[in-house]
């Protein structure tokens, strides 16, 4: 499995706080069956601001530690851009992309879709960029009506659902929305959005719930085939370690 959304890098956002914590999370993700994880720290100028070079250096350092610890996990680039600032970031050519380079992770405010969302998505489309949209099950418009995703999907947006949303302990609205979206085939991939070792249990629970909810081929598509393509890896077991 490939994880497109994870706060694994230590000390750069509200995710892992230390190298030790990152290693614990990496070990747990590998234990759950992940072969690669995109490190996607929040990118918000006021709160979390790191250059692409700094993040790459940190990722390389963590990859060395992960490999030394005997954890079979490949760390890949990425960043979670907030809709309120992403156009500015794009204009400054500071977009943190997946290894595929023409794809990146975007999040909306949990209060709702940004104003003029279609215009924003059109601008990405014009630049040949694929938007991977984080935790779609958590936006109020989608919780009210899954059809709110239709115009976004028509613009080529790839929709992610957090595995933890499928776990029992998550909020009921997100859980119901995640299940509805998965059953309606409106989800392109699932991801951990893991922030700390305490979140591992909910990811494991989410994976178990997903296996119950969808057939094995959909499970494969949601956890490996589609995320691999978006992350810039070869899909399927043949791509392991690519
Ligand atoms: Fe996130």
CA of 217 to the centre of ligand 1 (A): 26
Q: What is the pLDDT of residue 167?
A: 93
> How many angstroms does the Cα of residue 77 sit away from the middle of ligand 1?
14
Q: In CATH, what class is 2-233?
A: alpha beta
How much is the average pLDDT of 83-87?
94
**What's the pLDDT band for 239 if we cut at 50, 70, 90?**
very low
Q: Specify the pLDDT at position 47.
A: 64
Which pLDDT score is estimated for 50? 79
Per-chain mean pLDDT for the chain: 94
Position 105 pLDDT exceeds 60: yes
What percent of the chain stands above pLDDT 90? 88
DSSP string over 47-91: TB---HHHHHHHHHHHHHHHHHTT---EEE---EEETTTHHHHHH
Ion ligand 1 nearby residues (CB, 5 A): 80, 193
241 C-alpha vs ligand 1 centroid, how far in Å? Answer: 24
pLDDT tens-place string over residues 138-172? 999 999 999 999 999 999 999 999 999 999 876 89
Q: How far apart (Å, rounded) are the C-alpha atoms in residues 151 and 109?
A: 18
pLDDT of residue 19: 97
The structure's pTM equals 0.95
Q: For residue 24, what is the enclosing H or E element? A: helix 19-32
| Kind plus residue range of the DSSP H or E element containing 182 | helix 172-183
Please measure the distance between the N-terminal and C-terminal CA atoms of the chain and give it in whole angstroms: 13
Instruction: Please tell me what DSSP assigns to residue 93.
Output: T
Query: Distance, CA 41 to ligand 1 centroid (Å)?
Result: 7
Centre of ligand 1 from the C-alpha of residue 137, in Å: 13
Which residues have CB under 8 Å from 113's CB, separation 6+? 139, 141, 148
Give per-residue pLDDT as tens, 17-51. Answer: 999 999 999 999 999 999 999 999 998 776 667 78
Number of neighbouring beta carbons within 10 Å of residue 215: 9
How many angstroms separate the CA atoms of 106 and 132, rounded?
6
How many percent of the chain have pLDDT more than 70? 95
197, burial (CB in 10 Å: exposed 0-12, middle 13-18, buried 19+): middle
Give CA–CA dist 238/211, Å, rounded.
22
Is the per-residue pLDDT at 236 higher than 70?
no
pLDDT at 220 exceeding the cut of 50: yes
pLDDT at residue 49 in the model:
73
Whole-number Å distance, alpha carbon 185 to ligand 1 midpoint, is: 22
CA 104 → CA 33, 81, 124, 159, 215, distances in Å? Answer: 23, 8, 10, 12, 28
Per-residue model confidence as pLDDT tens digits over 65-78: 999 999 999 999 99
């Amino acid at each position: 499995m490939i994880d497109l959304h994870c706060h694994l890098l230590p000390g750069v956002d509200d995710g892992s706080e230390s190298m030790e914590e990152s290693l614990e999370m990496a070990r747990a993700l590998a234990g759950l069956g992940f072969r690669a994880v995109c490190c996607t720290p929040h990118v918000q100028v006021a709160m979390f601001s790191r250059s692409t070079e700094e993040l790459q250096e940190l990722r390389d350092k963590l990859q060395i530690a992960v490999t030394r610890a005997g954890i079979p996990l490949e760390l890949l680039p990425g960043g979670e851009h907030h809709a309120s600032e992403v156009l500015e970031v794009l204009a400054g050519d500071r977009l943190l992309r997946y290894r595929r380079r023409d794809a990146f992770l975007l999040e909306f405010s949990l209060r709702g879709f940004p104003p003029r969302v279609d215009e924003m998505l059109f601008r990405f489309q014009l630049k040949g960029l694929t938007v991977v949209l984080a935790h779609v099950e958590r936006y109020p418009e989608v919780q009210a009506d899954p059809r709110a995703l239709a115009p976004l999907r028509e613009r080529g947006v790839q929709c992610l659902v957090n595995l933890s949303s499928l776990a029992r302990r998550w909020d009921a609205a997100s859980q119901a929305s995640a299940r509805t979206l998965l059953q309606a085939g409106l989800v392109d991939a699932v991801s951990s959005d893991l922030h700390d070792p305490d979140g591992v249990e909910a990811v494991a629970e989410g994976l178990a719930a997903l296996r119950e909810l969808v057939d094995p081929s959909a499970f494969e598509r949601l956890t490996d085939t589609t995320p691999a393509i978006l992350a810039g890896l070869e899909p399927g077991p043949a791509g392991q370690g690519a």
